Amino acid sequence: MRTVLVTGFGPFPGAPFNPSGPLVQRLARLRRPAFAGVRLIPHVFATSYRSVDRDLPQLIAQHQPDIVLMFGLATRSRHVRIETQARNTLAAMPDASGFAPAARAIGRMLRPRLPIRAPRIALLRAARSGRIPARLSRDAGRYLCNYLYWRSLEAAAQAHGPRLVAFVHIPNVRRNPARRRGGRRPFSLDDLAQTGEKLLAAAVAALNQRPRQ
């Protein structure tokens, strides 16, 4: 049995609707032959540093996931972004609780970045098979998405930590998008769910190809 922790975020200032939360709930309800041997653990973080620091270690200790697949909203993006690294940096922007970190670095490590622990090209190909355009990205930002990514990659470096870790930024969508003139439909939560399912399947397939530790 493979265990996959799939996470999203709740609303935050400037984004009263964060589609990463509903996306995670949809993925948790998947019933596909490809996921017959997979236990999906969904979690939606409150968009706060406290929530990440409290919930992430508990989730990893309790469920011991083989894979951590995280989703977050990039409000200005028009495509899916497979983040290839997390950076050791923090922004002064307050989180949803109003807290703003005083430090400008996440950890005391000398390394300025941590690389993705998943096959980025396989994930990119999987994402591109959906309706929404997808790209690799080297900039996960300096907000909660990057922070969660960094903490998850730190956990993966520990003994018996997650074996695959990836963060995916998604574009904003409307809950019930109306069709535009010319017949082109805006991206929807259904489109995100399709992409999320393909990414999840690619991550599980990649893990299954690796020898068990």
Q: In this structure, what CATH number is given to the domain that contains residue 144?
A: 3.40.630.20
Q: For residue 174, count other CB atoms closer than 10 A to its CB.
A: 12
How many domains does one find in the chain?
1
Residue 212 banded pLDDT, cuts 50, 70, 90 = low
Tell me whether residue 200 is in a domain.
yes
CA distance 6 to 71: 8
Tens digit of pLDDT for each residue in 107-152?
876 789 999 999 999 999 999 999 999 999 999 999 999 999 999 9
Contacts of 213 (CB under 8 A, 6+ apart): 163
Tell me whether residue 23 is in a domain.
yes
SS3 202: helix
Beta strands in 61-196 (DSSP E): 67-73, 80-83, 85-87, 113-115, 134-137, 164-170
Averaged pLDDT for residues 35-63: 96
pLDDT at 211 over 80: no
CA distance 172 to 122: 24
Residue 36's pLDDT is 84
Residue 178 banded pLDDT, cuts 50, 70, 90 = low
Averaged pLDDT for residues 18-33: 92
pTM above 0.85, yes or no: yes
Q: For residue 121, report the phi and psi dihedrals to the nearest 5 degrees.
A: -70, -40
Q: Kindly report the average pLDDT of the chain as a whole number.
A: 92
Give the domain range for residue 172: 2-208
Tell me whether residue 162 is in a domain.
yes
Residue 32's pLDDT is 80
Tell me whether residue 213 is in a domain.
no
Tell me whether residue 80 is in a domain.
yes
**Residue 72: strand pairing partners:** 169
CA distance 168 to 190: 17
CA distance 7 to 57: 13
pLDDT at 154 over 90: yes
Tell me whether residue 63 is in a domain.
yes
Tell me whether residue 21 is in a domain.
yes
Tell me whether residue 72 is in a domain.
yes
Residue 177's pLDDT is 55
Residue 151's pLDDT is 97
